[in-house]
Amino acid sequence: MAGRGTPEPVVLLVEDDPGDVMMIREAFKESKQHGDLYVVGDGKKALSFLRRAGGFTTAPRPDLILLDLSLPGRDGLDVLAEMKTDADLLTIPAVVLTSSRSPKDIQRCYSLHANAYVTKPRDFDGMSEVIRQVTACFLDLIELPD
């Protein structure tokens, strides 16, 4: 069950690479986690979704955010920094899901209060396992605030 007491969790994927989006969608479908996966392709849209602004006035509040770092316009670090300084958004778990293995990126994300930093696997089986473990942890195992 999702942290906010609803039966179906909501996951927001912030990813601009169509191949990664397709792989993560499939991995999410194959995971034992049921719920809704929403996708936005840049940081500006992510913040609009989270704030229910622009074309996202009816967007649900996510139970989990999967956030790529390399995004057009406002990158993942900008999104993370802004959401973790916003009292309405800071309790939403944000898992950085990126191809970067840079120690500088890892340090920066945790200093901005990322809940986890995961390097994207290159193949579908690896991605399926990552999505299964991340969703099981953040949507089933741990208790999240309402």
Of the pLDDT bands very low, low, confident and very high (cuts 50, 70, 90), residue 6 is low
Residue 84 confidence (pLDDT) = 95
DSSP result, 83-132: HTTSTTTTTS-EEEEES---HHHHHHHHHTT-SEEEEPPSSHHHHHHHHH
Architecture of domain 14-138 in CATH? 3-Layer(aba) Sandwich (3.40)
Model confidence over 48-102: pLDDT tens digits?
999 999 999 999 999 999 999 999 989 999 999 999 999 999 999 999 999 999 9
What is the pTM for the complete model shown?
0.92
Contact yes or no for 72/93 (Cβ under 8 A):
no
CA separation for the pair 56, 101 (Å, rounded): 32
Asked if residue 2 has pLDDT above 70, the reply is: no
